[in-house]
Amino acid sequence: MPQLAPSVLSADFSRLEEEVRKIEQTDITFLHIDVMDGHFVPNITFGPPVVKCIRKTSKMIFDVHLMISHPKQYAKPFAAAGADYIVFHIESDDEPAETINEIKSLGVKCGIAIKPKTPAEAVIPYLDRLDMVLVMTVEPGFGGQSIISECLDKIAVIKAAMKEKNIDIPVEIDGGVNAENIEYCAKKGADIIVAGSAVFGADDSAQAVRRLSALIAKSPCFSKPPKRA
């Protein structure tokens, strides 16, 4: 099941439509969209209006990663803009259970993200209400950093808890993934693998997607990615 989710963070924002169109020609279906508020993380990207613009031109599954202090209050505009998944940080200021309720009430899938220093155990109480868990493999805020490989050990802890609770949702990893380490990430159990600079930093992003996907496909648990409903 492992599948690639290109992150538009490393795309050329002046040609966003073209950049997304190009990768949409490949087999992959997830698009990772990084939202930063300059407060939860020391960087700023964009808000719902930009997501809405990409939505008009793309049928991909939008995996919106909110690196913002108040995710509960912004879930509604991101849902209206066309998010399929809204993933918020457990370290943000809002109460996780309330944020989950808000996102789910909007009919959008919900994920919790954990930073490198947050233990895997932090998400376990919420697993039965979630559609995804995002394990950050770099400190959130910037693309192009090196992977913190030890974070990948959290996948097994989360999956063991899921098995115990009879829950089967994807675990996504995000940060520092490239052609050298993507097979290792798949072997460690990641179901969705985000790659920003390794895709959009390449001369030919579609070719980079195909190459990274081919490396993932070497993993024994690979199956075809789902289509958006």
Residues recognised as catalytic: 34, 174
Q: How far is the CB of 101 from ligand DX5 (least distance, A)?
A: 24
Q: Quick one: which of 37, 91, 102, 174 contacts Zn ion (CB under 5 A)?
A: 174
Question: Whose Cβ is closer to Zn ion: residue 22's or residue 65's?
Answer: 65
**60 within 8 A of 85, measured Cβ to Cβ:** no
Chosen from Zn ion, ligand DX5, none, partner binding at 170 (C-beta under 5 to 8 Å by type)? none
Report CA 194 to chain centroid distance, whole Å: 6
Residues 15 to 44: which contact Zn ion by CB under 5 A? Answer: 34
Distance, in Å, from the CA atom of 138 to the CA atom of 7, rounded to the nearest integer, reads 14
Residue closest to ligand DX5 (Cβ): 196
Question: Whose Cβ is closer to ligand DX5: residue 48's or residue 176's?
Answer: 176
Strands across the sheet with 85-89, in order?
Answer: 3-6, 192-195, 171-174, 132-136, 109-114, 85-89, 61-67, 30-36
Question: Whose Cβ is closer to Zn ion: residue 101's or residue 122's?
Answer: 122
Q: Quick one: which of 22, 65, 154, 159 contacts Zn ion (CB under 5 A)?
A: 65
Chosen from ligand DX5, Zn ion, none, partner binding at 10 (C-beta under 5 to 8 Å by type)? ligand DX5
Question: Whose Cβ is closer to Zn ion: residue 37's or residue 174's?
Answer: 174
Binding site for ligand DX5 (CB under 6 A): 7, 9-10, 32, 34, 65, 138, 140-145, 174-177, 194-198
**20 within 8 A of 31, measured Cβ to Cβ:** yes
- From the number of C-beta atoms within 10 Å of its C-beta (0-12, 13-18, 19+), residue 190 rates as buried
Alpha helices in 96-187 (DSSP H): 96-105, 153-165, 182-187
Contact positions vs Zn ion (CB under 5 A): 34, 65, 174
